[in-house]
Amino acid sequence: MYNQIDSNKRRTWALIIIFVAAVLGLGWFVGYYFDYGYGALAAAAVISLVMTLFSYYGGDRLALWSAKARPAGKTDNPYVYNLVENLCITAGLPAPKVYIIPEEAINAFAAGRDPQHASIAVTVGAINKLENEELEGVIAHELSHIKNYDIRLMTVVIVLVGMISLLADFFFRGSLFGLGRKNDNNNSGRSWLMIVGVILIILSPIIAKLIQLAVSRRREYLADASGVLLTRYPEGLARALEKIAADPAVLANASAATAHLYIANPFKGSGKFLARAFSTHPPVEDRIKKLRGMA
């Protein structure tokens, strides 16, 4: 379990470093191409940050509203509330607000910018179809997202994605108006630099999205391992994931904007390469295999 946690943390931060390097490289190229220095990069950073502040402070409420989740106090659903409370004591976390999603699909998600402002939502299907140890594994997984500050990390990633998108858009619009250096055609070295830079600018939004999804998948593996550290019973979460994969019900109110929050892909994506590459979650089979290999 500890090896899995350390490995996932290293890989996540490696992806973040690559992401930051890509943003700086693209910012330098756009500034060089239009002879703006670092102004384009600074402008993209400010705009992306402002656009992300709303999702950072209000994204949890929006996710709960879109899922049609309703609050559940201790008297409303003592079974779920007590599971959450007991696991929070074990993890040393303040108890999050508990919500119930009125859907028969087996799923759950956590939201909130930090442990003091967090919520956890569980579907009716998960409560009815999972055994005690299985539901405990699901809740432990979601609490691990809160403890690991995954929402905050993904907010940083979204800022980086926004910066790359804005830089690419700025480049395309500037090129349409004929802006850019005019004297570089006389220098073959600079011309090749321009060609490479243009290709990277075109591909950058796709690459950024793939890195974002890769970070999201690494955080799922980390939450699996951290959740097992809470329950000390990897088989519970493994069996829950098996039931989620086999469950024919789908979430009616899930959206692409909130899909990464759930414990499993709410859209039941296929196993094809492209579907996996653009999925917010790693393959369930791989997660189960890793869980059963923990000791």
CA–CA distance, 58 with 71 (Å, rounded to integer) = 17
Residue 142 annotated among the catalytic residues of the structure: yes
Exposure b/e, 191-225, CB count within 10 A at least 16 = b? eeebeebeeebeebeeebeebbbbbbbbbbbbbbb
CA–CA distance, 262 with 280 (Å, rounded to integer) = 9
Residues 6 or more apart from 244 whose CB is under 8 A from it? 106, 107, 263, 264, 284
250: three-class secondary structure by DSSP = coil
Residues 6 or more apart from 65 whose CB is under 8 A from it? none
| CB-based contact 114:269 (threshold 8 Å) | no
Catalytic one among 103, 136, 142, 220? 142
Structure tokens at 172: 């395309």
Residues 6 or more apart from 287 whose CB is under 8 A from it? 220, 221, 224, 241
Catalytic residue numbers read 142
